[in-house]
Chain A
Amino acid sequence: MKLIKLLSIAAVAATLSFGYQPSAKAGETFALDKPHTQIKFSVNRGGWSRVAGWFTKFDGSINFDEANVGNSSVSATIDTASLDTGFAARNKHLRSPAFFNVKEFPTMTFKSTKIEKTGAKTGKMTGNLTLLGVTKPVTLDVVFNRKAPHPRNKMMFAGFTATGKINRADYGMKFLIRAVSNEVQIEIQALSVKK
């Protein structure tokens, strides 16, 4: 009898544990509004000045839980061939195997793993950045700018700014490492629209 009772308890426990599914994220899902989102990078060139560039083709979504920011998540895919620095010859070099190697690695991806709130409108987002086939953790400082409906079309928009830095050598991008800084600064101005 005891055995039957124990088996019953085990069966119930197993059913409960296997049947358990975490509740769907409470946040709202936003897609990046491409015309109003900028993904920019800059490097120090020989100590004289900084050279900036940006990507024009990307895709991404944000699951934003304003009440519990830790439940939020971000993922993005960037078309590396879409980089632009405002100078055709430099773009060509940056797309070559020496730098972004865009034919061999046409995309770079980011997927958040942890988001924590640090202030009323600020937070830190850690995630995995995959570039040139190498995945490394990256932490970005994030500012939540505003969430409000657009005055004309009434669609809900949320805007964020994210900044951070990576070392390009960590991803195997070592060409001209003495002339062009290893440290790459990243700035993302993201406007997202609720799906």
Chain B
Amino acid sequence: MDDLVTEVLINGVAIPIGVAVLFATFFSWCLGPVPGGRIASAAIGVAFLAGYSALFTWPDFPPVSSGQKLVFIVLAGVVVGAVIDLIKSPALLKYLAIILWPAAIIGWLGWRQITNLTFETGVTLGLLFVAAVFMLDRLANWGTRPSHASVVLLVASIGASFIAFIGASGSLSQSYAILAASAGGFLLCNWPKPRFTFGTAALMAGGGAFLGLATSIVLFSEVHLISFALLLLVFLAPAGAQKLPWQHSPALGPIMVGVVGAIPVIVGTAVAIIIAGDSFELPF
């Protein structure tokens, strides 16, 4: 079991944190503080890919399963997002990405369901799309305060990891843990002093990873969706934190966002545990 702990802690946590810090610094150092700072948030996606491939290995192309497709979604998010970030006026492209990117992700992962569409699946996919646009829009909105957006992604991913674990989806739980570590690594570079923007690369790669995993949870797992849906409230945490003291403090502001974001995580996890009841047992 030591191997298992090593596998989870090294590959799933230490590698993504290290890679996120390294790449954010590297982008900034190579390209200078302005363009480098704009694409530094691509480090979240690079870190996720490093942790994911360390844990599950890099998949062949073309990918077959949703887990394999996720790698190429994040890779595309890193590349396309970084290009948009490097263009001087990315606002229109950024908002196009907020609409088109969820459609592309849900469409690719749920292609089989879309081609055999039932009313129930159609409603599920529709709600998932609306939730995804909301999530990316909020991340883009808080991106003006990069540490706030990173905290939101970090806290939401931790919550998703807990809820997926309780819902007997170990690999999805681990994947969310990798995403949390990646966002956490980027946050380390941006806290207490904000250095890099939470750009389109973070939105498309980090947000894309969150959404890809969420699509897998909705379509392919037995995770209870009400507890999972509560995590959407995490994306409103910066708005809630505005009513708290120290909201403008570079050091304490992100912590306040984390505290507010932790509330729906705790509630969602509690709901998941209550719903799982006696059926929640460690499988191995």
| Docked complex Cα distance between A74 and B284 (Å) | 34
Residue B76 interfacial (CB < 8 Å) = no
The proximity string for B residues 51-67 relative to A, scoring 1 for CB distances below 8 Å and 0 otherwise, is 00000110100001111
Task: From A89, A175, A179, give the contact of B280 (CB < 8 A).
Answer: A89
The proximity string for B residues 266-284 relative to A, scoring 1 for CB distances below 8 Å and 0 otherwise, is 0000000000000111111
Of the A-B pairs whose beta carbons lie under 8 Å apart in the complex, a sample of 9, sorted by A's number, is A88-B279, A90-B284, A92-B283, A97-B66, A98-B170, A101-B66, A103-B221, A104-B112, A172-B68
| Docked complex Cα distance between A98 and B216 (Å) | 11
A132 touches B64 (CB 8 A): yes
Q: Which residue of A lies closest to B281 (CB)?
A: A89
**A95 to B: closest C-beta gap in Å:** 7
A104 touches B65 (CB 8 A): yes
Residue A24 interfacial (CB < 8 Å) = no
| Docked complex Cα distance between A89 and B174 (Å) | 18
| Docked complex Cα distance between A96 and B3 (Å) | 22
Interface residues of A in 63-112 (CB under 8 A from B): 87-90, 92-98, 101, 103-105
A97 touches B283 (CB 8 A): no
| Docked complex Cα distance between A103 and B281 (Å) | 21
Residue B220 interfacial (CB < 8 Å) = yes
Residue B92 interfacial (CB < 8 Å) = no
| Docked complex Cα distance between A107 and B216 (Å) | 18
Residue A186 interfacial (CB < 8 Å) = no
Task: From A89, A101, A133, A172, give the contact of B283 (CB < 8 A).
Answer: A89
Residue A152 interfacial (CB < 8 Å) = no
**B62 to A: closest C-beta gap in Å:** 10
Given A133-B65, A172-B68, the answer on whether A97 and B172 have CB atoms closer than 8 Å is yes
The proximity string for B residues 1-21 relative to A, scoring 1 for CB distances below 8 Å and 0 otherwise, is 101100100000000000000
Residue B189 interfacial (CB < 8 Å) = no
Task: From A46, A96, A176, give the contact of B168 (CB < 8 A).
Answer: A96
| Docked complex Cα distance between A92 and B216 (Å) | 16
Interface residues of A (CB under 8 A from B): 45-46, 87-90, 92-98, 101, 103-105, 132-134, 172, 174-176, 178-180
Interface residues of B in 1-45 (CB under 8 A from A): 1, 3-4, 7
B171 touches A92 (CB 8 A): no
**A128 to B: closest C-beta gap in Å:** 15
A92 touches B279 (CB 8 A): yes
A98 touches B64 (CB 8 A): no
- Residues of chain B lying within 8 A (CB to CB) of residue A134: 64
| Docked complex Cα distance between A179 and B284 (Å) | 9
B171 touches A133 (CB 8 A): no
Given A93-B283, A96-B222, the answer on whether A178 and B67 have CB atoms closer than 8 Å is no
- Residues of chain A lying within 8 A (CB to CB) of residue B168: 89, 92-93, 96
- Residues of chain B lying within 8 A (CB to CB) of residue A95: 222
A97 touches B220 (CB 8 A): yes
| Docked complex Cα distance between A30 and B282 (Å) | 41
The 9 residue pairs across chains A and B that have the minimum distance between CB atoms: A98-B171, A133-B64, A89-B281, A93-B283, A178-B3, A92-B168, A103-B220, A90-B283, A98-B170
Residue B169 interfacial (CB < 8 Å) = yes
Q: Which residue of A lies closest to B2 (CB)?
A: A178
Given A45-B284, A176-B4, A179-B1, the answer on whether A104 and B171 have CB atoms closer than 8 Å is no
- Residues of chain A lying within 8 A (CB to CB) of residue B65: 97, 101, 104-105, 132-133, 172
Q: Which residue of B lies closest to A172 (CB)?
A: B65
Interface residues of B in 231-284 (CB under 8 A from A): 279-284
**B53 to A: closest C-beta gap in Å:** 11
| Docked complex Cα distance between A92 and B277 (Å) | 14
**A92 to B: closest C-beta gap in Å:** 4
- Residues of chain B lying within 8 A (CB to CB) of residue A97: 65-67, 169, 171-172, 216, 220-221
Residue B131 interfacial (CB < 8 Å) = no
**B121 to A: closest C-beta gap in Å:** 11
Known: A88-B279, A97-B172, A174-B56. 11 other contacts (CB 8 A): A46-B284, A89-B279, A92-B222, A93-B170, A97-B220, A97-B221, A98-B171, A132-B64, A172-B64, A174-B57, A176-B4
**A136 to B: closest C-beta gap in Å:** 12
Residue B86 interfacial (CB < 8 Å) = no
